[in-house]
Chains A and B, each alone.
Chain A
Amino acid sequence: MRETVAERWSRRVILTLLTLFVLVPLYVMLSTAFKPLSNVRDSFTWLPEKLSGEAFVDMWSTVPLGRYLVNSLIVSTAAAVLSVAIAILAAYATSRWRFRGRGVFLASVLSTQMFPGILFLLPLFLIYVNIGNKTGIELYATRTGLIITYLTFSLPFSIWMLVGYFDSIPRELDEAAAVDGAGPMRILFRVLIPTAVPGILAVLVYAFMTAWGEVLFASVMTDETTRTVAVGLSGYSTQYDVYWNQIMAASLVVSVPVVAAFLFLQKYFVAGLTAGAVK
């Protein structure tokens, strides 16, 4: 199938424009992070007046970024691992058994996407505070509370993608293991999980990203000691000054690991989506 000249050139023009659209903000983020503060105060420049690592040094003391990063890291990792573990169990059940209520389960999992976050933010906040008052188990403004909250955010999509992934693993593999005397849980751990590693990793990254980027609940459900970077970044704009270079440097530090992990695993992500969505 040959491409006409017109098609080739319109493809090039459109892709160039799209590349610019995507690239310009990324470039601004990167270049601003290497500008000295004096350079971001008045007027914008495309190139830094001089390359400076100042922002990367100062950002740690302007706001307690280190503490926020540790909080985010703990919360996001725990939420992602737990969410994926729970999703694996649920996806295994849904993919391998035709039980009563299976359709209802899948549908209701997806319908949680419909709930406006704002609707259950306040009740959840009040429930957490109440549990704390009544039982002494502190969930409000703790990492545990945030972990529990976040893991449910990524759960629906994780289950959905993993069902697709598990469905694409031939049942003959299960049966071969069953013939060897493996029980259902053994089949899960010895056959399905090892075979689905790429999909599981993709879902893990997705769950991590969800928790790492969440703003609304983090702004209500944390205090100074448990604050995550998502909320902490707002600390760089004070009444007197906005430290744009530090904001960009901090954004960069916060983004690079997630972006790298996502881009590295994106083909499995596509595979999971294909399996989950296209069917």
Chain B
Amino acid sequence: MTTTVSAPDEAPPAPAEKPPKRRRRPTLPYLLLIPAIVLELAVHVIPMLTGIWMSLRELTQFHIRDWSGAPFIGLDNYKVSLDFNSATGKELLHSFWITVAYTALVVALCWAIGLMAAVLLQRPFRGRAILRTLFLTPYALPVYAAVITWSFLLQRDTGALNHVLVDQLHLVNDRPFWLIGGNSFYSLVLTMVWKQWPFAFLCLMAGLQSVPQDLYEAAYMDGAGFWRRLRAVTLPMLRPVNQVLLLVLFLWTFNDFNTPYVLFGKSAPDQADLISIHIYESSFVTWNFGLGSAMSVCLLVFLSIVSGLYLFFTRKARADA
């Protein structure tokens, strides 16, 4: 990641890298990158720049036919989005905090469960391969199939959860709602954790494979118990994996759209109104695309700052690793 150096290489790989053919100024690598760069530009970068352009316009249903002629209004959309005294700004701030809570819970739970499973499956035992395969299944399921199944489990009248709580265990008398009201937030977290933790498990399992076994043996000989070994051997060795994993989990969860969209439909309950759904609603339901774009740009700026800070503070750690 930190390799920004160019032509005269670092010493070790250099001799192996220069068979006579490649001594000329390399144009081939650039040619090989062209398709990838063109496509990323076309589908990500240009639309993103267009999005920034749109955020400076008054782009409502009146101008959508001829959107390039939408009047320029400068930063007005941003002022409206970020005016936390107005209704629009309040709602945006509200869904921002919901998303922060959602992301924190989901990332923490996915990581903790994934780590637990990966550590427990390190030692060979009968049935290990089966468990490993089973644990990966939720991740392999298409998102909507996984989420729709949860939405069925969480139905008030016909769902399994209420069946267990009310009919079988008699813990609650009144059938609670899980997909509207305050509970919907936890339903969302539960669903996302269920389908996302196996990714953490997969990465951490891959990371654990590179930990030399004799480190554990040595720690064991020194009398280190399970927790001590976890803290002194496993976690430090997993640091490089963790750094990438946590960042990716953070970004995916913060930008998550599919889970709430399939679980609740186009308009999520207020208590589970994630930011991407909120922006989607602001753009496609009320047809104010300029405002929606401004909100998306704010979201991008926030994510860039957080990722930038994260990468900055972990860089030293990565250089040491």
Contact = CB atoms under 8 A, between A and B. Distances in A.
Nearest to A88: B32
Interface in A62-113: 86-87, 89-90, 92-94, 96-113
A48 B3 CA distance: 59
Interface in A18-54: 18-19, 21-26, 28-29, 32, 40-46
Given A44-B160, A113-B248, A102 B276 contact: no
B7 A98 contact: yes
A262 interface: yes
Interface in A214-239: 214-216, 219-220, 229-230, 233-234
Contact of B149 (A14, A29, A209, A273): A29
B133 A22 contact: no
A34 to B, nearest CB: 14
Interface string B55-86: 00000000000010000000000000000000
Interface residues on B, range: 35 or more
Nearest to A39: B158
A215 B32 contact: no
A273 B206 contact: yes
A201 interface: no
Residue among B26, B116, B149, B304 facing the most chain A CB atoms (10 A cut-off):
B149
Per DSSP, chain A at the interface is helix
Contact of A114 (B153, B202, B300): B300
A251 B159 contact: no
Contacts of B106: none
Contacts of B36: 86-87, 89-90, 109, 155, 159
A244 B152 contact: yes
Nearest to A215: B258
A209 B202 CA distance: 16
A258 interface: yes
A126 B48 CA distance: 12
A264 B129 CA distance: 12
Interface in B88-105: none
Contacts of B46: 123, 127
Contacts of B136: 262-263, 266
Per DSSP, chain B at the interface is helix
A149 interface: yes
A254 B145 contact: yes
A278 B143 contact: no
Contact of B35 (A89, A106, A251): A89
A262 B140 contact: yes
B212 interface: no
Contacts of B4: 103-104
Contact of A152 (B16, B44, B135): B44
B138 interface: yes
Interface in B284-309: 284, 289, 292-293, 296-297, 299-300, 303-304, 307
Interface in B207-266: 207, 209-210, 216-217, 220, 226, 240-241, 244-245, 248, 251-252, 254-255, 257-258, 261-262
A4 B227 CA distance: 13
A110 B165 CA distance: 44
B51 to A, nearest CB: 5
Given A118-B280, A262-B136, A263-B137, A32 B202 contact: no
Contact of B303 (A32, A116, A220): A116
Contacts of A23: 134
A142 B9 CA distance: 46
Contacts of B169: none
Contacts of A254: 142, 145
A272 to B, nearest CB: 9
6 contacts: A18-B113, A22-B134, A43-B157, A119-B296, A277-B241, A278-B207
Given A46-B160, A86-B39, 15 more contacts: A7-B226, A15-B131, A23-B134, A90-B32, A93-B28, A120-B44, A122-B289, A122-B293, A156-B40, A209-B142, A213-B143, A215-B143, A230-B142, A251-B144, A277-B206
Interface of A: 1, 3-4, 7, 11, 14-15, 18-19, 21-26, 28-29, 32, 40-46, 86-87, 89-90, 92-94, 96-120, 122-124, 126-127, 148-149, 151-152, 155-156, 159, 171-172, 174-175, 178-179, 183-184, 209, 212-216, 219-220, 229-230, 233-234, 244, 247-248, 251-252, 254-255, 258-259, 262-263, 266, 269-271, 273-274, 277-279
Interface of B: 1-7, 9, 13, 16-17, 19, 21-22, 26, 28-30, 32-33, 35-37, 39-40, 42-44, 46-48, 50-51, 54, 67, 113, 116-117, 120-121, 123, 131, 133-146, 148-150, 152-153, 157-160, 162-163, 167, 194, 202-203, 205-207, 209-210, 216-217, 220, 226, 240-241, 244-245, 248, 251-252, 254-255, 257-258, 261-262, 276, 279-280, 283-284, 289, 292-293, 296-297, 299-300, 303-304, 307
In the A-B complex, the 10 residue pairs with the smallest Cβ-Cβ separation, listed nearest first, are A119-B296, A123-B50, A120-B47, A93-B29, A262-B140, A251-B145, A123-B47, A93-B32, A44-B163, A103-B4
